[in-house]
Each structure stands twice: as structure tokens, then as C-alpha cells.
């Protein structure tokens, strides 16, 4: 029979393995976008659900090519009248809960582009001074310091210099969180060069509004084939981006919660860099309860 000390030493590896398993079980999370719909409630409301680990404030939708950058938060506030600063305290409260809050650039509409490396540098400096760790007399969201920047670059002709912007931002602060929201068609022509830099912590891939790589009427094969491609990119974690309802994705890709839990999540959670699920968006999620239905199955 082994001594108490020997038993303890033999049991130690099991403890370490168990500890690793427990730690890994809490690694995955849910990201969402907030800011485009007035009926979605406040930022504080979203954070108080306890469902999200990441919230992207959407969007800074005008910038580049000599334009003055403009924040667009729909009917939530008017940046021109400086009323968006009301969310400063809410951002801090979200961060105090351990939620990372990022500013999302671009979106499906808007007038944005980067036309040169210098354009990218100017935008990085603007973001640093007005939303991140720098200082400015005209910070649209007040004195709250966001955790990072999300790249949601969509539409043709917008593929240039995003890698420069990512590099410029990291030069300002290596700890800055960068995320990207590419389309599921691999590779994403707008963001491929930026993602290839390896500077992005999180890549939440939009597996919707793209017929060839989305969930289609019970068939997850296209989605899973694309998922395997995306998990090979240089990123710490890759997220499955899904719509919270059929209304959230007019061109398809909605995955019913029962199929998500029984069919899709078990297939993708085996990926070493699986990070969780991104849900578009807070408004649709509020109405459908999607995040609440799947959150216990994320890990």
C-alpha cells in the first residue's frame, strides 16, 4: 500500500488535469453587438443580463478619406450634441463585471474606407485619443476607456490598409484588444490581410447571409466545412457568429436553438481555439432570448 505522501503525489497530476478541465470550461463566452436599435435597451441592460462576455458598440460608421469620424448609435444618442457621453458610466460598470467593451468600426452600411497607410495612422491616433487610453476634449463616449477595437468591414472596395490600422493600434498599446468580424466565405477579402498579421485576439465569423457557408434548413455541412478553415487563422479564439432570429439575417443562416445545442456546438467545441458564439445583435437577442437558451451549452 502506498504511503499518504505517495498517494498525494500520485493524485497531484489528476488534480492538475481536473483544474485544467475546469479552467477550460469557463473559457468560452458570448459576444454581441449593441447600438443600432433603440428598443434594445441601454448598454447597462445588456451587461446586467450576465449573458455576454464581450459587447461591441456599433458603429463608428464614417471615417477615412478626409472625413471627420462619426459615431452612429441610432436613436440611443446624438454624438453631435454630445449626448452619447451618458454611456460612459455604463461602460465602466460593464467592465467592472468583467465584460470587455469594444468599439466596432464599419458595419454593413456607412461611408468608410482607408485610402493610404497614412490614413490608417490618422484613424489609429483618433481612436486612441477619443475612445481608448489617450486624451481629447471631444471624447464621444466620455472618459470611459474602451478595451479595444472591432473590425466589422463589409462591402466591396474596402479591403485596403486594415492591417496597417491593426499594427498602428498595437503600437500604441500592445494590450489593446483587437477583434474582427469577417464573412464566413474563406478567406474574407476585406479582412484577410489584417487577420493574417496575427494581431487579433478574437475573430467572430459571420455565418449568416452567406448561403454557401451557413446553416441551411437543418444542413450544417457548409458551416462546419467553413468553420474548419476559419479555425486555422492566426487568432487566439474563433467564435461562431449567428443571428438571434430569422429576422436578424434576411438572407438566412438562423440556427434554431435546439439544433445549435444538439448539432452545431458539439461539433465546433472540439476546436482548440474555439472561443464561443457571437450573436447579432442585442436587439434581436432581447426579443428571441437566444443567448439565454444556449449559454449553458457554450462551454
Q: Which residues are catalytic?
A: 154
Which residues touch 178 (CB under 8 Å, ≥6 apart)? 148, 149, 150, 151, 166, 169, 170, 199, 200, 201, 202
> Are 86 and 71 in contact, with CB atoms under 8 Å apart?
no
Extract the C-alpha cell encoding 214: 451557413
φ and ψ of 61, to 5 deg: -105, 0
Amino acid at each position: 500500500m502506498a504511503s499518504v505522501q505517495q498517494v498525494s503525489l500520485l493524485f497531484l497530476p489528476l488534480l492538475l488535469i481536473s483544474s485544467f478541465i475546469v479552467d477550460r470550461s469557463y473559457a468560452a463566452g458570448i459576444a454581441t453587438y449593441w447600438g443600432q436599435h433603440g428598443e434594445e435597451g441601454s448598454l447597462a441592460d445588456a451587461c446586467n443580463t450576465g449573458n455576454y462576455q464581450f459587447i461591441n458598440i456599433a458603429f463608428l460608421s464614417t471615417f477615412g478619406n478626409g472625413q471627420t469620424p462619426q459615431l452612429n448609435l441610432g436613436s440611443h444618442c446624438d454624438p453631435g450634441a454630445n449626448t452619447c457621453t451618458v454611456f460612459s458610466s455604463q461602460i465602466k460598470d460593464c467592465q467592472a463585471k468583467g465584460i470587455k467593451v469594444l468599439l466596432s468600426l464599419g458595419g454593413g452600411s456607412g461611408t468608410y474606407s482607408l485610402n493610404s497607410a497614412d490614413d490608417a495612422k490618422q484613424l489609429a491616433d483618433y481612436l486612441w485619443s477619443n475612445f481608448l487610453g489617450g486624451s481629447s476634449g471631444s471624447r464621444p463616449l466620455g472618459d470611459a476607456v474602451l478595451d479595444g477595437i472591432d473590425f466589422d468591414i463589409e462591402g466591396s472596395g474596402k479591403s485596403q490598409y486594415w492591417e496597417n490600422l491593426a499594427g498602428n493600434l498595437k503600437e500604441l498599446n500592445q494590450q489593446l484588444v483587437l477583434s474582427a468580424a469577417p464573412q464566413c466565405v474563406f478567406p474574407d477579402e476585406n479582412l484577410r490581410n489584417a487577420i493574417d498579421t496575427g494581431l487579433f485576439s478574437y475573430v467572430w465569423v459571420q455565418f449568416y447571409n452567406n448561403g454557401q457557408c451557413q446553416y441551411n434548413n437543418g444542413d450544417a455541412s457548409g458551416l462546419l466545412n467553413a468553420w474548419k478553415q476559419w479555425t486555422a487563422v492566426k487568432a487566439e479564439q474563433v467564435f461562431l457568429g449567428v443571428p438571434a432570429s430569422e429576422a436578424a439575417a434576411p438572407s438566412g443562416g438562423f440556427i434554431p436553438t435546439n439544433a445549435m445545442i444538439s448539432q452545431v456546438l458539439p461539433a465546433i467545441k472540439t476546436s482548440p481555439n474555439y472561443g464561443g458564439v457571437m450573436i447579432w445583435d442585442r436587439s434581436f437577442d432581447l426579443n428571441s432570448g437566444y443567448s439565454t437558451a444556449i449559454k449553458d451549452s457554450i462551454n
